[in-house]
Structure 1
Amino acid sequence: MERNLSVKSQKTLGRIDVAPEAIAMVAGIAALECFGVVGMSSRSFQDGIAELLLGKENLTKGIEVRLEDNRVIVDLYVIVEYGTKINEVAHNVIENVKYAVENQLGVVATKINVIVTGVRTGSNGNL
């Protein structure tokens, strides 16, 4: 996420800037609330290694927010529960994230991509 970019909203009393990090945090919480999502995965191998070495847990893990031509694009890297219908889980994630971002932040997410990076059993074993 680029730190110098933000979504701007001009109101009569002033300006509101919403940082990509804020969008990512709201999107991450909304995604984890969805049935069938058991976790988020690191966006890249380097992020995963840094997380292991530094032991840092991050609410924006597995989320990339891009601002292109005044459009907000959110990529979510999720791990789903074994036995769930992945297509339905992904659709629910898209709907929940879109609703949360638009209603809590007043930002229109024009595109939300769900990338399923893994499947996990209920006993926390990876498949």
Structure 2
Amino acid sequence: MPGKLVNNLGIVTIDDHVLASIAGVSAMECYGLVGMAAKSTAGGLVELLKRDQLSKGVKVQTEEDEIVIDLFVIVEFGTRISVVATNIIEKVKYNIENLTGMSVKKVNINVQGVRVQK
């Protein structure tokens, strides 16, 4: 369900794909993140997504005027996962709220793997 902003001039509808793209690009700006992973990891295999497919590693749910975001990420080996996750949460929440004007209820980080950065 797309996000909606209602003001005195009318209604602005923001598609979930747009919100997923903003969240994916925001997450990739954070230190310690190798990339986004595909949401469906059947058989234990994790696919590292290319830069133009970042929104496939993001699941967005909009509930009235609040957003819940699930990110599926691969972190860099040797970094503290909790610190990387906290940075991603803060960055994604800040960018979504400032760019769209909607409030972010939750940002969930799902670490799908750890890789050595080349």
TM-score by length of 2: 0.86
Q: Out of 5, 8, 11, which is 2:4 matched to? A: 8
Counterpart secondary structure, 1:83 = coil
Alignment of 1:1-127 (within 5 A): 5-45=1-41, 57-68=52-63, 70-123=65-118
Counterpart secondary structure, 2:39 = coil
Shift of 1:26: 0.3
Aligned equivalents of 2:71 and 2:88: distance in 1? 9
Cα RMSD of the aligned pairs, angstroms, is 2.0
Q: Are 2:4 and 2:13, in contact at CA under 8 Å, matched by a contact in 1?
A: yes
Counterpart secondary structure, 1:74 = strand
Q: Which runs of 5+ in 1 are unaligned?
A: none
Aligned equivalents of 2:64 and 2:98: distance in 1? 21
From the CA coordinates, give the structure whose radius of gyration is larger.
1
Counterpart secondary structure, 1:97 = helix
Aligned equivalents of 1:91 and 1:29: distance in 2? 16
Shift of 1:20: 0.8
Counterpart amino acid of residue 35 in structure 1: Y
Residues 98-120 of structure 1 deviation map (CA, whole Å, 9 limit, x = unaligned): 00000011111101000110111
Counterpart amino acid of residue 71 in structure 1: E
Shift of 1:19: 1.0
Q: Are 2:67 and 2:103, in contact at CA under 8 Å, matched by a contact in 1?
A: yes
How many residue pairs get aligned? The number is 112
